[in-house]
Structure 1
């Protein structure tokens, strides 16, 4: 009798295992799916920001137009950091490459690491904003009480819609602790 009940449950067990395998496969596929969505929509500031894209944009500098880029810096939670943009805003010509800096300082007596993530508003501008070089791409290691300026190089594609006159680039610094 016990063996019959076990045999009767095998179809259900098989279905549950298949569902688990499909869930795992879907979770694994989310990274490339997310990348494709970012490429299509410009979400998360995704733009082909390689040397070829930068050169193409620079060849098409729109000197007849200026866009205000505002910079914001904040700390996630109450981490032991000082973090701020070196300048609050810049007037830029679409297609021209610019560099600005953010200042970060470890306010503790021990070595710490931090990493910044960014957000851009309005969302429609994200696909036209590229950062070929940014401190946010890598983990930042700081010695005790160390402070430094960290550069971000960017350009706005000249195809940015005309109605977008102001873009805000906001970074949030996350504390990774003393051992990361």
Structure 2
């Protein structure tokens, strides 16, 4: 089994155990690979190198784009919503999955103009369909699929949301003009 070593400074486990500070002080770029039985078992880094790595990671997370969006698409409350736990990487659809709080805004960015938020019935239909399929996608991909699904279902229904078949209509209590009624 081949292993990629991420530093040029290597030390054995016993030597590191006896003199860890000297090993780190002599390490190139502040990183030491600690070996045991001819295989790396851990990496040790100096506090300065750890700070560099964390700063690099933070800068790598920032999106770089030359696309400018209208300010009206942003709502301060929605720009930084409370963190909702989302599985990392690809995952199959599961019961209880929810799109992000700013889903309608995101859909507009993806080119899907939704006139209203997703209804519980639309979300339940989407989740149950994709649960049965068993496919895996990233969270953003699931949201894009939901946006297109809603767009297509609403367009097929004349732009209106589907009528809830379980809802009982309320009778109209007014008498239309010209109606003579029973005498």
Q: Sort the TM-score into its range (normalised by shorter chain).
A: under 0.3
Q: Which has the higher contact order (CA 8 A, sep 6+)?
A: 1
**Structure with higher strand content:** 1
Please tell me whether Structure 1 or Structure 2 has the larger radius of gyration of its CA atoms. Answer: 2
Structure with the larger helix share: 2
TM, length-normalised to structure 1: 0.25
